[in-house]
Homo-oligomer: A and B are copies of this chain.
Amino acid sequence: MRRNQSSKIQKAAATIADQCLSMRIRFLNRTVNSIYDDAYRDIGITAAQGNMLVAIVLNERISPTVLGQRLNIEKSTLSRNLERMRNSDLIEVQEPSSGRSLELVPTKKGHELLLEILPRWKAAQATTRELLGENEATDVAAAVDQAREKLLSD
């Protein structure tokens, strides 16, 4: 019986390791994001901050709540990420002109940083596409885009 139990446990572990998407996506996240973190390090930002800055430049005056919905970032996480970006003068957080939502605006420095980000992003993106393989990279992007659309349509 004990032997039976033990083999059931081993089998469970084997099944999970063999198929688990969480494990794989965590691995992918660590691996790929370290490429972007490395690429941005010399300009003093992280991949997370670079991504958020891009979103804010493209959606000037967006509110934290809406930004959080688009990126699926929890509001408390976002609050602290924005605080750091404000501290390093990448964005400004302005009081609501109407209603109750804050408005996010990139600073001059934030705007200009995008010109430094672009070549570094290109290099990191190329490294990543090469690591994954062109077809696989396209597949992954398509999978995410599709899931994202499904989630945002609710």
Contact B9 A22 (CB under 8 A): no
Interface size on A, residues (CB 8 A): 66
Does A12 contact B143, Cβ atoms closer than 8 Å? no
Q: How far is the CB of A62 from chain B (nearest CB, A)?
A: 13
- Given A27-B148, A147-B31, are A141 and B13 also a contact pair (CB < 8 Å)? no
Residues of chain B lying within 8 A (CB to CB) of residue A121: 16, 20
Question: Which of B13, B17, B26 is close to A29, meaning CB atoms less than 8 Å apart?
Answer: B26
Residues of B with C-beta under 8 A to A131: 147, 150-151
Does residue A28 face the partner (Cβ distance < 8 Å to B)?
yes
* A85-93, A96-104, A122-130: which lies at the interface: A122-130
Question: Is A146 engaged at the interface, CB distance under 8 Å to the other chain?
Answer: yes
What 1/0 flags go to A112-134 for Cβ under 8 Å of B?
Answer: 10110110010011001101110
A-B contact pairs, 13 of them (CB 8 A): A12-B117, A13-B54, A13-B57, A13-B114, A21-B132, A22-B35, A22-B36, A22-B128, A25-B32, A26-B29, A27-B71, A27-B148, A31-B151
Residues of A within 8 A of B (CB): 6, 8-10, 12-17, 19-33, 35-36, 47-48, 50-51, 54-55, 57-58, 71-73, 111-112, 114-115, 117-118, 121, 124-125, 128-129, 131-133, 136-137, 139-148, 150-151
